[in-house]
Structure 1
Amino acid sequence: MPEASPAPAPRPKSAPQKAMEKLGLLRDIDLALHLPLRYEDETRLTPIAEARDGDTVQCEGEVVDNRIELRGRRQLLVKLRDERGAQLLLRFLHFYPAQQKAMAIGLRLRVRGEIRAGFFGREMVHPSFRKVDEDTPLAAALTPVYPASAQLPQAYLRKAIASALKRAPLDEVLPPALMQLPITRGLPPLRQALEFLHHPPPDARLQTLEDHSHPAWQRLKFEELLAQQLSQQRAQRERALLKAPALRAAPGGLHERLLAALPFRLTDAQQRVAEEIAQDLARPQPMHRLLQGDVGSGKTVVAALAAAVAIDAGWQCALMAPTEILAEQHFRKLIGWLEPLAVKVAWITGSVKGKARQKMLDAAASGEAMLIVGTHAVIEDKVQFKRLGLAVIDEQHRFGVAQRLALRKKLQSQVAHLDMAPGAPATAQRPAAPAASQAPAQEPHMLMMSATPIPRTLAMTYFADLAVSTIDELPPGRSPIVTRVFADSRRDEIIEKIAAAVRDGRQVYWVCPLIEESEALDLKNATETHQELSAALPQQMVGLLHGRMPPSEKAAVMSLFSGGQMSVLVATTVIEVGVDVPNASLMVIEHAERFGLSQLHQLRGRVGRGSVASVCVLLYTGPLSDTGKSRLRAMAETTDGFEIARRDLDIRGPGEFMGARQSGAQLLRFADLQEDAPLLGAARRLAPQLLDQHPAAAAAQVDRWLGGKAEYLKA
């Protein structure tokens, strides 16, 4: 029997194909939704004599001269002459021999570019051109210019999109009866809208295309917002079907004893959000709540009270923070509050090694440790929980989507032994564990915390599946923070202010920027600043803290600063969150123009934590961009985190503000949350009807617009 011939090897992909894959243009629908950046009008010809300087026009004529000249640099000069005898010079400063050949004398060319007044008459520099005949028809529609790359020519992309547009599944999936909302009535069908946007007719108003106000754009934006809302609300409904342990604090139990032991009174806002969280925990469905509050508003104690409810009910709690400094800050506060009440708190980070690490792992797995605090090390495979009922993720936006999804899957897949391990110590007055015959919980409750307030429009969109609790007041006794903006030329003056502050017994932060592209440069910058301040303040201890230091050295530096022995701390942004030194009343942020608004606000929140008036100095190096000026002006004008967030949204836009939900992919490509608020409201109203009455249409809408990205919206 003859051997079967081997399958032919797959043909290697061309450079344009690879470039399309890199842009995510994999399906016909992806290409159909890849919309033009702008349009070129190739539907009409302008006689050369009528073209005005500065206009971008299309002209046509015969090549009457073609030569290479050396006028300071080598350049190709091609001269066209039209039927009226007017001439136009085409100047190419960079060219290939093939281009010179394609514009040989005697050929007829159609060229498009900006008209300039040159020394030898009118000219175009590097125009687009193509060979035509006298009867070659003009384009019937405006020519789209797409987002592309160097390896993806516009001509190739235009052909691919035109072909995909014919094949793409663009049938209407939305029931016509549900498209009769006042804002959606009269919008064109999806296929018609896309065909119009890819190939608008010559008489289309370019202004409405460019500002996205055309009905075709409105239809696309509504479709996108509807898909996003459907995904969020569907996730919310799916979560409501899951089971979770109903966690209730026992009368006179840990929760009440913690409240009584705290050395301060909760603010009204803290009491309100703590009650909202307690009500969620008492339900047999998993809580999925975002706790947001400004810097210093007291989120940690609210998380501690939530943990106390879980522990009261006999379940463990895990708290995960993005950095060791922040995790350790939480750990120290929590053991101070809970260990006197007989609650064991475990500490798990990457720097805990050997026997100490194994001891913590055993404590978590056996249930001896009822509260486990750490970094992303908490979600490693080796970390097992006995009875995990609540997970708290602090600064949740700092974790990637993959990490948060891994945490959810880890929690969902845990084997929750409902009877307590033999010999595991019980906290005082802890209720008995549920009977072993009960079904295990499918998913623990989840509380996410953020010190970056989310504006309402973003919360409605990016967190539509989350309940949101907001701490909107600061604890009493906090000192006001005055923000001053200075040019770097006044650096010596700032150093004199630092010297005066430390003589008065105050402590100072000096923050150097972190530029991810050049970690070595960052370190050099921080090190040189440390040397400069050490020389200027010879009688004071000046410390240095940066991300490349071993954890033990970081801890030693922070201990000296927190204890008051160190007067000045030079640091990169590792101190952005979690550092609480009430005696620190002056912060200098170097190259403040390089930071985002929310990051500047987070850094500024490290001072003003005591009773002494505090100052934050923003040092900038000019010239400042308009964005840089807007950021620094906002910082000087307000200390309200919610106002800062609103201005940050105005400056950066929702995608960058949210980090595109930290997925690395823009989830809203067409809609603008501020301009399109009416469309967002309509999408929110229509989504429940679609889910209830037309579930198949809802699923098709989500798949068309989000595909695999829907999971990122749930994380």
Structure 2
Amino acid sequence: MPAPSPAPSKAAASSAQKALLKLGLTRDIDLALHLPLRYEDETRITPLRNARDGSVVQIEATVVSSEVQLRPRRQLVVQVEDDTGSCELRFFSFYPSHQKTLAVGARLRIRGEIKGGFWGRQMMHPAFRTAGGELPAALTPVYPTVAGLPQPYLRRAIASALQRADLSDTLPPNAAPPVHQTFGAGGLQPLYSLQQALRFLHNPTPDVALATLEDHTHPAWQRLKAEELLAQQLSQYQSKRERARLRAPVLTMPAAVPGVLPLDAQFLAQLPFGLTRAQQRVCAEIAADMARPVPMHRLLQGDVGSGKTVVAALSAVTCIAAGWQCALMAPTEILAEQHFGKLVGWLEQILAPLGKKVAWLSGAQKKKQRSEMLALIASGEAALVVGTHAVIQEQVQFHHLALAVIDEQHRFGVAQRLALRQKLAHAGLEPHLLMMSATPIPRTLAMSYYADLDVSTIDELPPGRTPIVTKLIADSRRDEVIERIAAQVAAGRQVYWVCPLIEESEALDLSNATATHVDLSEALPGVMVGLLHSRMPTAEKKAVMELFTAGVMGVLVSTTVIEVGVDVPNASLMVIEHSERFGLSQLHQLRGRVGRGAAASACVLLYAVGDNGKLGETARDRLRAMAETNDGFEIARRDLEIRGPGEFLGARQSGAAMLRFADLAADIALLEWARECAPQMLDRFPQLAERHVARWLGGKAEYLKA
């Protein structure tokens, strides 16, 4: 509340315009939907004698002294009085213009936190301006902003945009959301329209309960959240309907030939295990999708170790048997290599008689090997292509791609998924898309962000998986853990030790993988202790993994590069150092590296407490959840509660948060209303639906289609 500034200069206005663009505020409706973080009450003047210690108040007083003091540090000290008392103002940062406004005799309107002290009442760095003029009738909004965009400029821009923006109703008739109504002087108050809700939230009356604005339970907030959820649902349903109009190759097993086993039967016959009922069910769901001339857009979710890879392999077999190519893309080289090794082992025998091969693509390949692989892919001889991001590079030309499988799909961005889909520029067809995730999607996320996807769930683990015991152990007991490792290795078992950093960091006091490797090598004489991290050369990483997989190496010290895909049944102990620094789903993924064989397995979460001798609340919640359950679906639910939806979605929205106002945990009734309303609105009021999506999402709706 400093003195009103003159009209901004051209340079200041240009800077503010750039700042608006940085915030994504390009349209009038964007400004109208840029809501306050909090409010300041400038609607009343509090006499100094009535101001309670620790409260933020606005006073009107006269300057009786003003001087710059140099000790203990340079500061401007101003004494002010009203008819009921006095107060001292202190400024450690000030300009000549401030001194001019705060001159002796000036009558000021001052707002700040008042504190009592030995020398009397004080305000530190209060807002101030020359007194005069009527008091505001509404609370003063304080908006989220960036450098170069002062509050007064932003307030003027938003007030102007509210006058210009089209805020007419886009909800269909008789489709009022389940918004809580309030009782006022005249009884039950009517539901807010969008226009009423926005005008109120930008300029709320001083009698409103501030708590209802801060926790977004006020009916005006409820109206905005309902409209936002409806826009998201409309966008998802539109995306699903648009995809239903596209064409895709029909992938079915060819008619049986007498005396010859179909390719899928050959594949299943040479597996050393049978499929679980859950695997059989999801295989049938995927096969039914691929048999239709419409692109499949399916998410295959299942807990760590539930057998998603074999389901993907059977889907690839169906694609290959129908005469087409399949691509499988994984986020890391270790995971992609793991898939490649498994798939070659499973498919080589049945592909060889057909003259087909499995190709491998990675960024670290030698030029000659890469050229050979590109030729196999372009000719169609490579029926299955496995790799990292290298699969979607421009020089990779498929002969006829029909199925794209993306593992750990949340680790890929929108542009990367779209690039894989665009590899089938053949006869106007789209490839079928199967996305896999070992992080189960909680119900509310499936209903909202993934509403355009069909979801298949593997909800049982293969037989033989042993339960993993999870122990929380303070870092001070590290020596006991090393003794446990020695016992495991002596019994013929193998151990992972995961560290969060590769090198020393001045910002984080964490042990690094290199130092831990040295420490464990000294503490475990006679045991081969390996080191694995993402900055090692590919050949070196491969050699380390081969030694560990073969059982020659007893202990593997690693960063989170082993989070997904690594499968060593003889490994029975996982130690995660500084576990309080990891996310919940990441801890669950790491834990899933053990318990893959018949031996009893354990996961030790080593944690370090802060300077106060305690764990932070969020870290404590995460570690408690890990100790209490092995169920990935329960872990995912708790993770959503702790972190919110952002990290579940990965780069699905390319960094753009598609829900700014609604809270999936708190607003389930509004979400269910939006899910019910959206398809009816698209059928009966398509123009309203189009306007509604354009208003709320603008160009961001495109991100939901990947």
What TM-score, normalized to structure 1?
0.92
Q: Do the aligned partners of 2:39 and 2:141 also contact (CA within 8 Å) in 1?
A: yes
SS in 2 for 1:118: coil
3-state SS of paired residue (1:406):
helix
Amino acid at match of 1:209: L
SS in 1 for 2:512: helix
Residues in 2 aligned to 1:517 and 1:35: alpha-carbon distance in whole angstroms? 42
The one-letter code matched in structure 2 to 1:673 is: L
SS in 2 for 1:618: strand
Shift in Å, 1:174: 2.6
Q: Which residue, out of 138, 141, 145, partners 1:141?
A: 138
| Separation of aligned partners in 1, 2:530 and 2:502 | 21
When structure 1 is superposed on structure 2, of 10-19 and 188-197 the one drifting more is: 10-19
Return the match for 2:170 from 149, 170, 173: 173
**Which residue of the other structure, out of 262, 269, 280, is the alignment partner of 2:271?**
262
Q: Distance in 2 between matches of 1:661 and 1:267?
A: 31
Distance 2:413 2:468 in 1: 32
Q: State the SS of the aligned residue for 1:370.
A: strand
The C-alpha deviation readout for 1:380-418, integer Å capped at 9, x for no partner, is 11111112111100000001122112222333xx23xxx
Change (3 A) 1:665 1:357: same
Q: Per-residue CA shift, 1:70-127, capped at 9, x if unaligned?
A: 442222211111133x101112233233322221111111111111112221111111
1:284 corresponds to which letter in structure 2? P
- What is the CA distance between 1:67 and its match in structure 2? 1.4
Instruction: Assess if the C-alpha contact under 8 Å between 2:24 and 2:30 holds in 1.
Output: yes
Mapped contact 1:230–1:691 kept (Cα < 8 A): yes
Tell me the equivalent position of 1:286. 295
**CA contact 1:225–1:683 (8 Å) conserved in 2:** yes
**Are 1:363 and 2:354 counterparts?**
no
Distance 1:282 1:519, change over 3 A: farther
Q: Cα distance, 1:596 vs. partner?
A: 0.5
Name the CA distance, whole Å, in 1 between partners of 2:323 and 2:71. 85
Contact 2:412–2:651 (Cα < 8 Å) also in 1? no
Task: Determine the structure 2 residue equivalent to 1:375.
Answer: 388
Q: 2:598 matched to 1:611? A: yes
Question: Kindly tell me: are residues 564 and 143 of structure 1, through their superposed partners in 2, closer, same or farther at Cα, counting changes over 3 Å?
Answer: same
How far, CA to CA, are the matches of 1:666 and 1:394 in structure 2? Answer: 23
Is 1:398 equivalent to 2:411 in the alignment?
yes
* Alignment partner of 1:554 out of 541, 566, 573: 541
Greater Cα offset, 504-513 or 652-661: 652-661
Deviates more, 1:196-205 or 1:289-298: 196-205
How far, CA to CA, are the matches of 2:499 and 2:655 in structure 1?
26
Match for 2:396: what amino acid?
V
Asked whether 1:74 is paired with 2:74, we answer: yes
Deviations 1:509-566 (A, max 9, x none): 1111148996998998111111111111121111111111111111111001101111
Q: Distance in 2 between matches of 1:689 and 1:65?
A: 69
CA distance in 2, matches of 1:288, 1:89: 66
Q: Which amino acid aligns with 2:371?
A: Q
More moved, 598-607 vs 87-96: 87-96
Q: Which amino acid aligns with 1:140?
A: A
RMSD, matched Cα: 2.0
TM superposition shift of 1:313: 0.9
1:352-406 Cα distance to aligned partner (Å, 9 max, x none): 2222111111111111111110011101111111121111000000011221122
> Who is 1:575 aligned against?
562
Q: Does 1:199 align with 2:186?
A: no
The offset of 1:154, in angstroms, is 1.5
Q: CA deviation at 1:182?
A: 5.2
Question: Are 1:305 and 2:314 matched, yes or no?
Answer: yes
Residue 22, structure 1, aligned to residue 22, structure 2:
yes
Superposition TM-score, scaled by structure 2 size? 0.93
Q: Is the 8 A contact 2:411 2:651 kept in 1?
A: no
* Partner secondary structure for residue 213 of structure 1: coil
- C-alpha separation in 2, matches of 1:83 and 1:639: 67
Aligned to 2:434: 447
Counterpart-to-counterpart distance in 1, 2:143 and 2:366: 52
* Correspondences of 1:633-672 after superposition (within 5 Å): 633-659=624-650, 661-672=652-663
Specify the alignment match of 2:461 in structure 1. 474
Other-structure match for 2:7 = none
Residues 350 and 613 (structure 1 numbering): CA distance in 2 closer, same or farther, change over 3 Å?
same
Between stretches 695-704 and 628-637, larger displacement belongs to 695-704
Q: Secondary structure at the match of 1:289?
A: strand
Q: Is the 8 A contact 2:411 2:650 kept in 1?
A: no
Would the alpha carbon gap of residues 377 and 518 (structure 1) be closer, same or farther in structure 2, given more than 3 Å must change? farther
- Is 1:152 the counterpart of 2:159? The answer is no
Does the aligned pair in 1 maintain the 2:66–2:78 contact within 8 Å? yes
Q: Distance in 2 between matches of 1:353 and 1:100?
A: 70
Quote how far apart the aligned CAs of 1:230 are: 0.5
Q: Is the 8 A contact 1:47 1:82 kept in 2?
A: yes
Shift of 1:198: 0.3
Decide which moves more: 112-121 or 185-194. Answer: 185-194
Change in Cα spacing, 1:628 to 1:131, as seen in structure 2 (3 Å) is same
Partner secondary structure for residue 423 of structure 2: helix
The answer to whether 1:222 aligns with 2:226 is yes
Shift of 1:671: 0.3
Q: Taking structure 1 as reference, are residues 651 and 453 closer, same or farther at Cα in structure 2, changes over 3 Å only?
A: same
The question of whether the paired residues in 2 share the 8 Å contact of 1:582 and 1:610 is answered with yes
Residue of structure 2 equivalent to 1:112: 111
8 Å CA contact 1:293–1:470 kept in 2: the answer is yes
Contact 1:232/1:465 (CA < 8 Å) preserved in 2?
yes
Change in CA separation of 1:523 and 1:442 when aligned onto 2, cut-off 3 Å: farther
The yes-or-no answer on 1:485 pairing with 2:472 is yes
Given candidates 217, 236, 254, the residue that maps to 1:213 is: 217
Which deviations, in whole Å up to 9, do the C-alpha atoms of 1:161-196 show, x marking residues without a partner?
111111122222233x14245559953111111000
Closer/same/farther in 2, CA of residues 659 and 41 from structure 1, 3 Å limit: farther
- Quote the Cα distance in structure 2 between the aligned partners of 1:519 and 1:314: 56
> Hey, what's the Cα distance between the residues in 1 that align with 2:399 and 2:166?
49
2:692 pairs with one of 701, 710, 714: 701
Q: Aligned equivalents of 2:504 and 2:31: distance in 1?
A: 32
CA contact (8 A) 2:301 2:457 kept: yes
Which amino acid in 2 is paired with 1:125?
A: M
Deviation at 1:638, TM superposition (A): 0.8
In structure 2, do the counterparts of structure 1 residues 468 and 633 end up closer, same or farther at CA, with 3 Å as the change threshold? Answer: same
Which structure 1 segments of 5+ residues have no match?
1-9, 416-439
User: Which of the residues 468, 478, 484 maps onto 1:497?
Assistant: 484
| Post-superposition offset of 1:259 | 1.3
Q: Distance in 1 between matches of 2:253 and 2:480?
A: 56
Once the two structures are TM-superposed, the CA of residue 686 in structure 1 deviates from its matched residue by 1.0
Kindly indicate whether the alpha-carbon contact (under 8 Å) linking 1:184 and 1:219 is maintained by their aligned counterparts in 2: no
Residues 245 and 441, structure 1, Cα contact 8 Å, conserved in 2: no
Closer, same or farther: CA 242–199 of 1 in aligned 2, 3 Å: same
- Distance apart, 1:24 and its partner CA: 1.3
> Aligned partners of 1:713 and 1:462: how far apart in 2?
8
How big is each residue's C-alpha offset from its partner over 1:474-511, in whole Å with a ceiling of 9 and x where there is no partner?
11111111111112111122112111111111111111
Alpha-carbon distance in structure 2 between the residues aligned to 1:349 and 1:656: 26
Q: Distance in 1 between matches of 2:319 and 2:602?
A: 40
> What letter is aligned with 1:648?
D
Q: Give the structure 1 partner of residue 4 of structure 2.
A: none
1:326 matched to 2:335 = yes
Equivalent residue pairs, number: 676
Q: Who is 1:130 aligned against?
A: 129
Residue identity over aligned pairs, in percent, reads: 69
Answering whether residue 664 of structure 2 is matched by residue 673 of structure 1, we say yes
Query: Quick one: structure 1 residues 616 and 354, their matched pair in 2 at CA, closer, same or farther if it must change by over 3 Å?
Result: same
Are 2:397 and 2:423, in contact at CA under 8 Å, matched by a contact in 1?
no
> Residue 210 and residue 183 in structure 1: after superposition, are their counterparts in 2 closer, same or farther (change >3 A)?
closer
The match for 1:271 among 280, 299, 310 is 280
Q: Counterpart of 2:555 in structure 1: which amino acid?
A: V
Residue in 2 aligned with 1:314? 323
